[in-house]
């Protein structure tokens, strides 16, 4: 009822209640590979089947896990990352989505305390849980363990105390049997003081395959919906959902200010005489987008028009801008090469002044040529004079903060400003750009990247627009100005 009252007040402009109840829970684990994603998806499926309208969020910069969430809940999952955004913005981005849902589910990243550089809790699952005041259920892979899980759980409970907030409120044992669970439940609860909410048996037919950038995408898995239904049925039997929902209800209320747009995002209030249309590459080859990035572009007054570089023979009509996101163009290089008409049209449009943003896979697509996974060269758009080539290992992996290079001239990113993002790729370029400087959060390493102008930016970094909304506003402004010229 409180959520409905808040929605009404936002619509009619009246006073927002000072406290807003947003039931929520986070599933985290001691390490990657503990089964977080599949268990989170199974629980989302069970919550959906109960008619609870769950919203979902992924901690960190990962693109693929939210795709699995979205397949379950039927609407877009979001990312929350406390390196990308400050406390105020993080809480705002969470609250504006959570207020529409019956319950929110957050999936952690890596190990629970693993943050920037591996030496800090900043940007860790713990950090996000602390900032959003979200109760955490720790998923412990108990395969091959019995009493040994007790000191493991105790260690996590004790370690969190030094950071100020005790957010771990429950535990689920993964890859164990009902007999082991029942044998351990009383001992674990007595010796740790934590609630044990259930167990998950080993399910070899509910494992997601991986590839060089992480998990395969959900559209590549045959029978995914059937597997998720099977998993949710098992979880209904093995997990105490009433206790889980009770923990979610115990989450601290948010405040009125959490639903107010941060001051730094004031540029979102824009009015255009002509609403600019932005063409967005969306298909199997280009599928890495932060939903909040796209929503920010919409808030800035754009109409986003999806198209497929794999299948569409031409760009959408009357566009004022182009957005080429990341993905797996290397897996579809032959098909992209064969769509010669579209490649030529993209090059001509950019040469004619069309504003554009291209990240990682989108940047690779703009090159004269691109290698595929077998190091076979394929002709691409020809906007970037050079070759995108495969390398044997990850290049420049992790979080970065970007600023404009001294001699770069006028860019979309204003001089003296920064924008945050990350890199994660097995490809490099003979012409990676030099208009921006990327710095690691530790400040001990930096490099030149991105080919930019006052209306474009193309390079390997994935950018998070909410870390500097004026960057996105500059792009939309350029698109509006371009649109005014062509219409």
Catalytic sites, residue numbers: 360
Q: Which helix (H) or strand (E) holds 349?
A: helix 340-351
Distance (Å, whole) CA 465 – CA 31: 29
Distance (Å, whole) CA 293 – CA 276: 16
Question: What are 215's two structure tokens?
Answer: 């998990």
| H-state helical runs in 193-276 | 224-238, 241-249
The residue assigned the tokens 């989108």 is 362
Distance (Å, whole) CA 111 – CA 106: 14
CA 227 to chain centre: 23
Distance (Å, whole) CA 379 – CA 360: 17
Distance (Å, whole) CA 459 – CA 326: 10
CB 384 within 8 A of CB 348: no
The residue assigned the tokens 């420049």 is 396
Question: How much of the chain is helix, strand and coil, in % rounded to 5?
Answer: 40, 25, 35
Instruction: Report the candidate in 42, 41, 37 with the shortest Cα–Cα distance to residue 238.
Output: 42
Question: What are 358's two structure tokens?
Answer: 């291209």
Instruction: Report the candidate in 30, 38, 54 with the shortest Cα–Cα distance to residue 125.
Output: 30
Using CA atoms, how far residue 82 sits from 86, 123, 340, 464, in Å, is 6, 5, 41, 11
């Amino acid at each position: 009822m409180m959520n409905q009252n808040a929605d009404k007040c936002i619509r009619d402009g009246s006073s927002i209640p000072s406290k807003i109840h947003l039931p929520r829970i986070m599933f985290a684990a001691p390490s990657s590979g503990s089964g977080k994603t599949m268990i989170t998806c199974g629980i989302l499926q069970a919550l959906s089947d109960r008619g609870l309208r769950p919203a979902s969020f992924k901690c960190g910069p990962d693109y693929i896990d939210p795709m699995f969430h979205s397949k379950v809940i039927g609407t877009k999952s979001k990312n929350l990352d406390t390196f990308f955004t400050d406390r105020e913005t993080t809480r705002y981005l969470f609250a504006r989505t959570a207020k529409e849902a019956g319950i929110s589910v957050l999936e952690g990243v890596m190990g629970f305390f693993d943050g920037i550089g591996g030496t800090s809790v900043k940007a860790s699952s713990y950090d996000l849980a602390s900032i959003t005041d979200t109760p955490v259920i720790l998923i412990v892979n108990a395969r091959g363990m019995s009493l040994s899980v007790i000191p493991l759980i105790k260690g996590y409970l004790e370690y969190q105390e030094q950071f100020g907030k005790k957010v771990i409120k429950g535990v689920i044992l993964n890859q164990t049997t009902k007999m082991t669970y029942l044998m351990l439940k009383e001992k674990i609860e007595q010796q740790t003081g934590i609630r044990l909410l259930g167990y998950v048996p080993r399910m070899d037919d509910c494992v997601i395959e991986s590839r060089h950038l992480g998990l395969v995408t959900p559209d590549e898995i045959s029978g995914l919906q059937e597997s998720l239904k099977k998993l949710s049925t098992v979880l209904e039997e093995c997990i105490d959902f009433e206790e889980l929902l009770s923990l979610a209800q115990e989450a601290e209320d948010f405040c009125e200010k959490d639903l107010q747009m941060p001051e730094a995002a004031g540029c979102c209030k824009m009015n255009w005489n002509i609403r600019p249309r932005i063409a967005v590459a969306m298909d199997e080859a280009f599928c890495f987008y932060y939903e909040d990035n796209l929503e920010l572009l919409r808030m800035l007054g754009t109409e986003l028009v999806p198209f497929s570089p794999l299948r569409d023979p031409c760009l959408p009509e009357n566009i004022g801008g182009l957005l080429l996101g990341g993905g797996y163009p290397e897996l579809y290089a032959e098909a992209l090469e064969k769509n010669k008409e579209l490649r030529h049209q993209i090059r001509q449009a950019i040469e004619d002044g069309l504003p554009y943003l291209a990240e990682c896979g989108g940047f690779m697509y703009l090159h004269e040529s691109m290698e595929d996974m077998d190091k076979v060269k394929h002709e691409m758009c020809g906007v970037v004079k050079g070759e995108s080539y495969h390398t044997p290992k990850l290049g420049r992996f992790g979080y970065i903060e970007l600023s404009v290079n001294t001699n770069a001239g006028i860019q979309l990113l204003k001089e003296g400003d920064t924008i945050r993002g990350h890199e994660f790729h097995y490809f490099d370029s003979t012409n990676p750009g030099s208009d921006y400087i990327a710095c690691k959060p530790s400040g001990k390493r930096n490099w030149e990247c991105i080919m930019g102008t006052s209306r474009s930016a193309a390079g390997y970094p994935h950018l998070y627009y909410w870390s500097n909304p004026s960057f996105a506003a500059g792009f939309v402004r350029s698109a509006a100005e371009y649109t005014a010229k062509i219409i």
